[in-house]
Amino acid sequence: MTARRPLPELPLISVVMPSLNQAHFLEQAIASVLNQAYPRFELVVMDGGSRDGTLALLQQYGPRLTYWVSAPDGGPAAALNQGFTHARGDLLGVLNADDFYLPDAFAAVARAFASDPSADVMSGHGYFATASGQLGVPSFSDRWSARRFRYGACVLMQPATFFRRDAFEGAGGFRQSGRVCWDMELWADLAARGARFRSHDAFLAAFRLHEGSITGRGELRRLRREHARAVMAELRGRPEQPVDRVLHLIHRAAKFSRHPLRTLRQRSFVHSVLNRWSL
């Protein structure tokens, strides 16, 4: 990692929100940012040319946004990279248009980075939520482990994860080709550059489960799993081998054994919302 700039006492938090035909959820996502009590934040919305009423919402909230656009783009990763060129924040976060932050999330993030100045990436916890926005079961970010990450047993809750601007820029931003696994690819690139990952025991965001999301749509879910395996193989420095599948099962079993009831509650909630047992 290159030498970092010290954070100000109240760091500016910049959130970029990618969106495409999510008007049904978008207003709650925007409001969850604008209603934060924290005094220094900004919101950039990058919409890929939605045709579902999103434009009217963006025009309504436009005066309170740092920047917004609604036009075809090169996919979510490209839109995020472009969005962050319009942001000035010291700390960065990504909020999908169908997710939302919990009250006082930004204040908790600022306190977490202030309490650990060595941190480059800070992950909190959150909740799975129904399509209507009702909070369900807690969803926890795992404590960072590069080894467990290589075997799919270290998962960071994406909307509850924030990172320093200098770390993000040093990693080259999001991979432009990433359409379904861009968050995991960024964690891998940050780790490869020596970023310091930290956990913060606070609930920051809600991850909405619905049939139109990447985790909800079968073909995108399968594609995400394929890309995730490719990222893990890249980190191991070789294609997946039979021993890797065994180690994957061992690490996942060890993770389950640490919190069996938590995992069962999460899977039960996923089944009640999406009619299947896992994401």
Residue 1 lies in a domain: no
Domain membership flag for residue 8: no
β-bridge partners, 123? 161, 199
How many other β-carbons are positioned within 10 Å of the β-carbon of residue 81? 19
Three-class SS of residue 180? coil
Q: Judge whether 7 lies within some domain.
A: no
Phi, psi of 123 (to 5 degrees): -115, 125
Q: Report the SS3 class of residue 214.
A: coil
pTM: 0.94
Q: Supply the pLDDT for residue 220.
A: 76
Q: Which domain holds residue 182?
A: 13-273
Which pLDDT value is given to residue 149?
95
Mean pLDDT in order along the chain per 10 residues (279 residues): 78 97 97 98 97 96 98 93 97 98 98 97 98 96 96 96 97 86 95 96 96 67 87 92 95 95 95 89
pLDDT for 115 equals 96
CA 236 to CA 38: how far, in whole Å?
A: 40
Domain-embedded: residue 212: yes
| Domain membership flag for residue 2 | no
| Rounded CA separation 27/58 (Å) | 9
With respect to residue 74, please indicate whether it lies within any of the assigned structural domains: yes
Q: Would you state the structure tokens that stand for residue 166, as one six-digit string?
A: 């200098």
Please report the pLDDT score of residue 131 as a whole number. Answer: 94
Q: What is the model's pLDDT at position 232?
A: 93
Q: Please give the pLDDT value at position 214.
A: 60
User: Rounded to whole angstroms, how far apart are CA atoms 182 and 228?
Assistant: 10
| 131 domain residue, yes or no | yes
Q: Provide the pLDDT for residue 278.
A: 84
Please check whether residue 85 lies inside any domain of the structure.
yes
Say which CATH number the domain at 63 has.
3.90.550.10
Burial class of residue 33 (count of CB atoms within 10 Å of its CB; 0-12, 13-18, 19+): buried
Q: Which two tokens stand for residue 126?
A: 């959150």
Residue whose entry in the numeric block shows the structure tokens 């997710």: 99
> What does the pLDDT read at residue 5?
77
If one counts the domains in the chain, the total is 1
